[in-house]
Amino acid sequence: MRYSVFSVLSQALKGNTGWKPVWREPEPKAEYDVVLVGGGGHGLSTAYYLAKNHGITNVAVVERGYIGSGNIGRNTTIIRSNYGEHGNIPFYEWSLKLWEGLEQDINYNAMVSQRGVLNLYHSDAQRDAAAQRGNTMRMHGVDAELLDVEGVRKLVPNLNFDNARFPIHGGLFQPRGGTVRHDAVAWGYARAADMRGVDILQHCEVTGIRVENARALGVETAKGFIKAKKIGLACAGRSSQVAAMAGLRLPIESHVLQAFVSEGVKPLIDTVITFGAGHFYISQSDKGGLVFGGNIDGYNSYAQRGNLPVIEEVMEEAVAMFPSIGRLRVLRHWGGLMDMSMDGSPIIDKTPIDNLYLNCGWCIGGFKATPASGWCFAHLIAQDAPHDVAAAMRLDRFATGRLINESGTGAQPNLH
């Protein structure tokens, strides 16, 4: 069913009794043109763009859990393209452009809200770095505005401007950044892919990848062997284990990143703000809860939960920025699995095994990349050649030295 004002009104008159499940639950076919391992945002968007852009509809998305159970439902919903490396900016800007047209494209309300993203700076050196980043963005055609302290005060009057230790000197603002309702992104892409014939196979764990003579032939799953002409891996924090099924070792460590939601309050923060003197970001959901987080815990983890030192640090930074929220209660907090690459940038590339393609290394920033990641991964799988905007995201860059070192920290996954 296509959603429209009329479908909503007619359902309202029928007491909302006519809504149907928005994707099928098919049994696996014996063979597909493409099998995508991982039914997260990136796997689903890849399936959708394979069907839409390349006409490849004999596609299965194989998911161990259920749609929306992984990082696509565990992130803090921020979209932006305020990057500073040439290998990154065109990619993330293309992603933001896709976000801007997403809801019309997939006929699904994902609540894309371009409320802006503001990165605060607290020293002269940080101002220079913000100006450089802003200029780099503008040279790539991305919107960026360097605000002084009065500009920030106008935008977010309730920040603490009297912080003697970390005074706010200004901020770099990207007005087109913002937030998107993450669950709706998973459901919307799943529905749109399903409508074009893609099979979404939930609760179907991949237990092996059949490889002969350096050529991938298919995947062993909980529901039996599925033959595949091509296989794409989009397994985020589980990438190392799945790639190991094909004998690959990746430049990836899996870490835990925690996030937090407060009780709902009246409109308080109408943009996304990051604290420049630590690692902290905050926005307000449409339900009123403050959504915020900080840095990864910093050690290898698959536990999907973190430890207290990071929680303490995050709360300290929250109150340093907004003393007024000191009495708010935290409703929920959780951890997600981050596929931390060794230079902090992702990998969308072929592997040394024929017909096996890899999409991983999203670190702490995979959500904003969901549309472009799918777009470029679909292009790679369909055309056997990298998409222009993802051409630098190669697997062999760690061996050749062509790193995309956005944060300048070197091969230290716990620092990205």
Partner 1 sequence: MRIPCPHCGERDVGEFAYYGDATKRRPDGASDIEAFFDYVYPRDNPAGPHRELWYHLGGCRAWLVVNRDTRTHEIFGAEVAYKAGAPGAEAGSP
Total Cβ atoms within 10 A of residue 317: 22
Stretch that binds partner 1, among 45-53, 218-226, 233-241, 358-366 (CB under 8 A): 233-241
Q: Where in 368-387 is the site for partner 1 (CB under 8 A)?
A: none
Among 76, 240, 271, 355, binds partner 1 (CB under 8 A): 240
Q: Does 241 bind partner 1 (CB under 8 A)?
A: yes
Q: DSSP of 140-167, one letter per residue?
A: TT---EEEEHHHHHHH-TTS-TT-SSS-
- By beta-carbon proximity to partner 1, the closer residue of 163 and 409 is 409
Residue range at the interface with partner 1 (CB under 8 A); choices 158-166, 196-204, 383-391, 408-416: 408-416
Q: Which of 19, 66, 161, 302 binds partner 1 (CB under 8 A)?
A: 302
At 20, the amino acid letter reads K
Residues 6+ apart with CB under 8 A from 323: 160
Among 177, 188, 361, 413, binds partner 1 (CB under 8 A): 413
Task: CB nearer to partner 1: give 95 or 240.
Answer: 240
Query: How many chain residues interact with partner 1 (CB under 8 A)?
Result: 25
CB of 401 to partner 1, least distance (A): 10
Cα distance from N-terminal residue to C-terminal residue, the chain: 43
Which single residue is written with the structure tokens 């997939």?
Answer: 106
CB atoms within 10 A of CB 55: 9
Which of 172, 342, 389, 393 touches partner 1 (CB under 8 A)? Answer: 342
Measured from the CB of residue 326, what is the shortest distance to partner 1 in angstroms? 22
Q: Got the DSSP string for 45-97?
A: HHHHHHHHHH----EEEE-SS-TTSSGGGTS--EE-----STTTHHHHHHHHH
Q: Are 358 and 243 in contact (CB under 8 A)?
A: yes
Work out whether 329 is an interface residue with partner 1 (CB under 8 A).
no
DSSP class of 213: T
| Helix axes 41-54 and 370-383, enclosed angle (nearest 10) | 50
Residues 40 to 59 in contact with partner 1, rule: CB under 8 A: none
Using CB under 8 A, which of 207, 215, 299, 383 touches partner 1? 299
**Of the candidate residues 2, 20, 165, 249, the single one contacting partner 1 (CB under 8 A):** 249
Nearer to partner 1, 171 or 251 (CB): 251
303 binds partner 1 (CB under 8 A): yes
Nearest to 257 by CA among 317, 306, 222: 306
Report the candidate in 380, 390, 67, 394 with the shortest Cα–Cα distance to residue 231.
Answer: 380
Distances (CA, A) of 58 to 153, 191, 200, 208: 53, 15, 11, 21
Q: Are 149 and 169 in contact (CB under 8 A)?
A: yes
Looking at the Cβ atoms of 71 and 262, the one nearer to partner 1 is 71
Among 45, 126, 271, 301, which residue interacts with partner 1 (rule: CB under 8 A)?
301
Which of these segments, 100-108, 219-227, 252-260, 286-294, binds partner 1 (CB under 8 A)? 252-260
Give residues in contact with partner 1 (CB under 8 A): 238, 240-241, 249-254, 298-303, 307-309, 312, 342, 398-399, 411, 413-414
